Structure 1
């Protein structure tokens, strides 16, 4: 077993999540929601 700790930035973690669940809801504000894919597209 390795004692090395893997690190990732928040943008890297978000990109990874968007890659595996692009259609899942990422954020909700009132009656509107954005999927990980939609939010990722807006961020880039």
Structure 2
């Protein structure tokens, strides 16, 4: 929530390519805690 509130103002003036890389990294980072849950959803096995 904090990232979504303040980060766009911070990196809004950066070049588009740099913004793309930052948002790509942040888009993947939030999925890391959900990895096991997503695997379970796809396979039906927990682990």
The TM-score normalised by the length of structure 2 is 0.36
Structure with greater strand percent: 1
Structure with greater helix percent: 2
The TM-score normalised by the length of structure 1 is 0.38
Larger radius of gyration: 2
